[in-house]
Structure 1
Amino acid sequence: MTLIKEAPATTHPTHSDALTFREGMSRLPSGITLITTGGAAGQHGFTATAVCSVSDAPPTLLVCVNRNTSAHDHILSHQCLAVNVLAEGQEHLCSAFSSRKYSMAERFALARWENGITGAPLLQGALVSFECRVSRVIDTPTHSIVIATVEHIQWDNAADSGLVWFQKGFALTKK
């Protein structure tokens, strides 16, 4: 039998201030997505890691949307969104969609898109895109938790490495 000796865990104060919380959360690997919406007010989008599956019957996703993102009100107004999961080589999109220095037109000009059945932009070459309709919104002080029913799913068979955010940097997954 082989025993593995683990290094002692670094402990932090029991209170959780924002910086300690962010540092702790940086150790949770998360898929990187572009959340996009389209409708009467045009195309809007932002980078998000706070996305998860809720159910497969019916297929449902949870997306946390910061109230300060310019896309927030447009998602609620359009009542649709797409969750575009980024693949290897799409790091530049993550950076552009998370920066206020790019206009929405400049962000969307960096890639090829197609309009989905709801009008939400779907990223060509994404690992997978989930096109959804908003079914419920739960308000918190800083974010809206959007529960969205999946209406359409598409993926690129050529994309085999997913892009992950881990310890404040990019990492890749392989199948």
Structure 2
Amino acid sequence: MIEAADFRNAMSLLTSAVSVVTTAGLSGRYGFTASAVCSVTDTPPTLLVCMNKASSSHLHFLENKILTVNVLGAHHQEISKAFSSKLTPEQRFEYGFWTELETGAPVLEDALVNFDCEVDQIQEVGTHTIFMCRIVAIQQSQHDQSLVYFNRGYHHVGRRVDQTESA
């Protein structure tokens, strides 16, 4: 049998993009830092988002059935830390500039990319809830470095491409 600590140690070696996943509804705006986000299919465009059921905002994501995956750039490390801290939901949104796209879920204005989604399916597995999310809007920025999490630390990947190189 695989021990939980052994699994977590092994998973720390899987490099993951860092995102802040947000929602909004009658009870306010909520968000959390996530590394468990991945593509499911492009027809229809769908993402999978995993969230710990112990999260203080878990119930709000279940009720709202909308969310935005805000993929963080290298310059967003403080935002990632804020959304994984004990700050109140209101205090978390003091970091960054927030707008909306189609669903009304908060969109981080200068994220690498924002995936605005409606939740189509919800599945509970162990300690987590899996949200299957149909993408209804996408917004991309011009930033070229991503914030990733590897071996329990933040790192930056990507490089600036000269216009002459891409021609």
Normalising by structure 1, what TM-score?
0.88
Q: Does 1:138 align with 2:116?
A: no
**How far off its partner does 1:17 sit?**
1.1
Establish whether residue 71 from structure 1 lines up as the match of residue 57 from structure 2: yes
Which residue pairs with 1:61 in the alignment? Answer: 47
Query: Where does residue 116 of structure 1 map in the other structure?
Result: 101
Say whether 1:23 aligns with 2:9. Answer: yes
Task: State the AA in 2 paired with 1:165.
Answer: Y
The count of aligned residue pairs is: 159
1:154 has 2:135 as partner: no
Q: Distance in 1 between matches of 2:137 and 2:17?
A: 19
Distance apart, 1:117 and its partner CA: 1.6
- Unpaired runs of 5+ residues, structure 2, are 160-167
State the match for 1:9 in structure 2: none
Distance 2:30 2:101 in 1: 14
C-alpha deviation, 1:116, in angstroms: 2.2
2:110 maps to which residue?
125
Report whether the alignment pairs 1:106 with 2:86.
Answer: no
Question: For the residues of structure 1 that align with 2:117 and 2:29, how far apart are their CA atoms?
Answer: 15
Among the aligned pairs, what percent are the same residue? 42
Give the C-alpha shift of residue 73 in structure 1.
1.0
Cα deviations across residues 133-163 of structure 1 (Å, max 9, x unaligned)?
0000011231111000000000111x11000
Counterpart residue type for residue 28 of structure 1: L
Letter of the structure 2 residue corresponding to residue 37 of structure 1:
T
1:87 has 2:96 as partner: no
- TM-score, length-scaled by structure 2: 0.92
Per mean C-alpha deviation after superposition, the further-off stretch among 29-38 and 134-143 is 134-143
CA distance in 1, matches of 2:114, 2:10: 28
**Mind listing any 5+ residue stretches in structure 1 that lack a counterpart?**
1-14
Task: Name the Cα RMSD after superposition.
Answer: 0.9
Alpha-carbon distance in structure 2 between the residues aligned to 1:137 and 1:169 = 30
Paired letter, 1:68: A
- Matched with 1:167 is 151
Amino acid in structure 2 at the alignment position of 1:31: A
The CA deviation string for residues 42-93 of structure 1, in whole angstroms up to 9 with x for no partner, is 1000000000000000000000011111221111111100000000111001
Post-superposition CA distance 1:13-40 (Å, at most 9, x none): xx42111111110100000000000111
Return the alpha-carbon distance in structure 2 between the equivalents of residues 109 and 155 of structure 1. 22
Larger Rg: 1
Q: Distance in 1 between matches of 2:117 and 2:80?
A: 20
Structure 1 runs of 4+ aligned residues shifted over 4 Å read: none
